[in-house]
Amino acid sequence: MRRRRLFWQVMGAYLIVTVLSVVLVVVHALRSGRSFYLRHLADDLEARSMLVADCVKHDRGLRSGLAIDADCKRLGRAMDARITVMAPDGQVVGDSHRDPAQMDNHADRPEVRDALRSGTGRSVRYSQTLRQNMMYVGYDVRDGGRNVGVVRVALSLSAIDAMLRANTVRIGLMAGIICLLATILAWVLTRRICDPLETMKRGAESLAEGDLSARMHVQGSYEMVSLAESLNRMADQLEQRMAEQQSQRNEREAVFASMAEGVIAVDMDEKVIHLNRAAARLLHAARDTARGRSLQEVVRNHDLQGFAREAAKSGEPLVREIVLPMTAGTERQCLQAHGTVLRGADGQRMGALVVLNDITQLRHLEKVRKDFVANVTHELKTPVTTIRGFIETLRDGAAEEPEQRERFLDIVSRQVMRLESLIGDLLSLARLEHEGGVAVGSREQQPLLSVLEQVVALCQPQADARKVALVVECDEALQASVNAPLLEQAVLNLVDNAIKFSEAGGNVTMAASADDEATTIRVTDEGAGIEPVHLSRVFERFYRVDAGRSRQQGGTGLGLSIVRHVALLHDGSVDVESTLGRGSTFTIRLPHLTP
């Protein structure tokens, strides 16, 4: 249904009432005026007819038609009216404007009939003789109580009609002015009613659109001002409550966004109510489009979907580990999910709340710890078992044979040295892990060339024994903020491994350089290289690419792990690039210290 504006409803009703009233008044005034003039004219004509009748009745020429006709013409000119005298039978005997002989019998005229019947008669009609509207007044002439004739006096209504038309124009003009003034007054009054309403309407629309600072300032009647003040008070309260809700919402969003745990809230239809940033990151989901969508659309993991469904139906908190499979560019993740029923303020179930903890690293560390314990046990047990076996062999009589005794003692000595090296590396790792802060605090600007030359001096005998050339590429002016002993140990381990796995005649190159962000030290060999499957694990403790050869070379499996710890203590990193048959390059990257 089409709704009309209040302005036009009020304005239209006011104008209709005003115009209708004015029209009725004008019509009544015109009709009353016309009736008044006609009555006044009739009375005047009656007085004139009585005067003419008196003149005619006492005229001695009453019995002479010519004398009466002459009197009618004379009196008609004097009165500026048409005078007609008729015999009792209606025959015209005198007329001021026409020849009586040529006129019809007037006995059928209404005014004549009325005059003969009641003494006077009046009539307004169109005159065929004069061809215009006329008013006729007839008067019965009596002499001694006997009817001797009828006098009729007529006057044209053209003058009255002209006057009435002029009055009609004047009254219409006044009515138009009154209607115009009424329209202006109606417009002003309607605007005084509608303008405050329009102002309050715009203010209410602004509030509905979220502009809670909008206020209505109106002037007018007490009711309008009171309504505007009530709306302003409502807006103040609404703004205050919305500000409180927004503040609480921001606090909740800040808490959820700052949580390291992922939080997912779903309703009873398994549609996402809330998904914080940590959950979006863990589940690789689009947080901006998650709200309102089903959990199956957001997270394509059957275990998590089933867990949320079970948490919504269960009355007890649930805990479960959920494994996310590997996808393109991501690794396999292990999540610990805590689920509970989500309830509203009235205690009714709304859905489920699921909190996710990423325990992938924890599980990895547990695995590393287990592997470390197993490896340490194995690495320590092997030389101890060997030493014990050869000691028992010597006790059983092998000591009496010089050649066997020397060979067995040489093996025992090598195993002791291996055990000593292993214990030393373990102690180094422990010191790096527990005293890292002290090591970092002792960093100073050092020329890298001196560190690399010290490594060359320590490794040169081993390199000469394997016929491997050591090459240093470093600018004398290149310096870096480092802990020189730790960095020397890291580079020494890399060079030692490079020498061990290089063929005779090969080169081991130590190159140092710097850019705007970091200082880089590269150790490159020309050995057999490392298969790609081993590259991600070579820095783990006790991990060996070639376990048999490593043990033969005296390796403990902890050297590269020490290198990684040294790089981390310098806020840096270490990585490896290798090509089978062409060698490997280990790179230590040390970022510059910010002032």
pLDDT of residue 133: 80
Q: Do 263 and 251 belong together in one domain?
A: no
Q: Do 268 and 246 belong together in one domain?
A: no
pLDDT-based confidence at residue 431 (cuts at 50, 70, 90):
low
Q: Are 339 and 307 in contact (CB under 8 A)?
A: yes
Residue 399 sits in a domain whose CATH number is 1.10.287.130
Among candidate residues 356, 382, 417, the one where a domain is terminated: 356
pLDDT of 132 over the 70 cut: yes
Q: Does residue 22 lie in a domain region?
A: no
pLDDT of 422 over the 80 cut: no
Q: Do 423 and 450 belong together in one domain?
A: no
Residue 290 sits in a domain whose CATH number is 3.30.450.20
**Domains contained in the chain, number:** 5
Q: Does residue 7 lie in a domain region?
A: no
Among candidate residues 156, 189, 221, the one where a domain is terminated: 156
DSSP bridge partners of 142? 147
Could you write out the DSSP letters of every residue in 153-211? EEEESHHHHHHHHHHHHHHHHHHHHHHHHHHHHHHHHHHHHHHHHHHHHHHHHHHHTT-
- Residues 361-379 pLDDT 10s: 777 777 766 766 665 665 5
Using CA atoms in the order 570, 573, 577, 578, what is the torsion angle rounded to 10 degrees? Answer: 60
Q: Does residue 404 lie in a domain region?
A: yes
Q: Which residue has the higher pLDDT, 208 or 303?
A: 303
Q: Does residue 340 lie in a domain region?
A: yes
Q: Are 550 and 557 in contact (CB under 8 A)?
A: yes
469-473: strand order across its sheet: 469-473, 507-514, 518-524, 583-591, 573-579
Q: The domain containing residue 313 runs over which residues?
A: 259-356
Taking the C-alpha atoms of residue 45 and residue 52, their distance in angstroms, rounded to an integer, is 10
Q: Do 374 and 350 belong together in one domain?
A: no
- Residues 48-87 pLDDT 10s: 888 787 776 665 444 556 778 888 888 888 888 888 888 8
Q: Which residue has the higher pLDDT, 582 or 427?
A: 582
Q: Does residue 168 lie in a domain region?
A: no
Give residues with Cβ within 8 angstroms of 404, minimum separation 6.
398
Q: Do 144 and 62 belong together in one domain?
A: yes
**Mean per-residue pLDDT for 407-430?**
64
Q: Do 396 and 415 belong together in one domain?
A: yes
Q: Do 269 and 238 belong together in one domain?
A: no
Q: What percent of the chain has pLDDT over 90?
A: 1
Residue in the block written with tokens 């209410």: 204
Q: Do 458 and 536 belong together in one domain?
A: yes
Q: What percent of the chain has pLDDT over 70?
A: 81
Please tell me the total number of residues recorded for the chain in this structure: 595
Helix (H, G, I), strand (E, B) or coil at 332: coil
Q: Does residue 140 lie in a domain region?
A: yes
**Mean per-residue pLDDT for 568-576?**
84
Q: Do 238 and 263 belong together in one domain?
A: no
Average model confidence (pLDDT) across the chain: 78
Q: Which of 188-197, 270-279, 314-323, 468-477 has the highest average model confidence (pLDDT)?
A: 468-477
- Residues 207-223 pLDDT 10s: 777 777 777 777 777 77
pLDDT-based confidence at residue 402 (cuts at 50, 70, 90):
confident
Taking the C-alpha atoms of residue 511 and residue 449, their distance in angstroms, rounded to an integer, is 10
Taking the C-alpha atoms of residue 302 and residue 320, their distance in angstroms, rounded to an integer, is 13
- Residues 150-162 pLDDT 10s: 888 888 777 777 7
Q: Are 139 and 122 in contact (CB under 8 A)?
A: no
pLDDT of residue 304: 84
Q: Do 231 and 266 belong together in one domain?
A: no
Q: Does residue 186 lie in a domain region?
A: no
Sequence-ordered alpha helix ranges (H) in 59-103: 65-79
pLDDT of residue 438: 44
pLDDT of 242 over the 70 cut: yes
Q: Does residue 164 lie in a domain region?
A: no
Residue 493 sits in a domain whose CATH number is 3.30.565.10
Here the tokens at position 341 are 């029923």
Q: Do 48 and 136 belong together in one domain?
A: yes
Instruction: Return the axis-axis angle of helices 222-258 and 158-208, rounded to nearest 10°.
Output: 20
Here the tokens at position 288 are 């901006």
Q: Do 404 and 464 belong together in one domain?
A: no
pLDDT of residue 551: 45
Here the tokens at position 177 are 């002015």
Rounded to 5°, angle at Cα 305 from 303 and 308 = 110
Among candidate residues 356, 378, 404, the one where a domain is terminated: 356
pLDDT of residue 399: 63
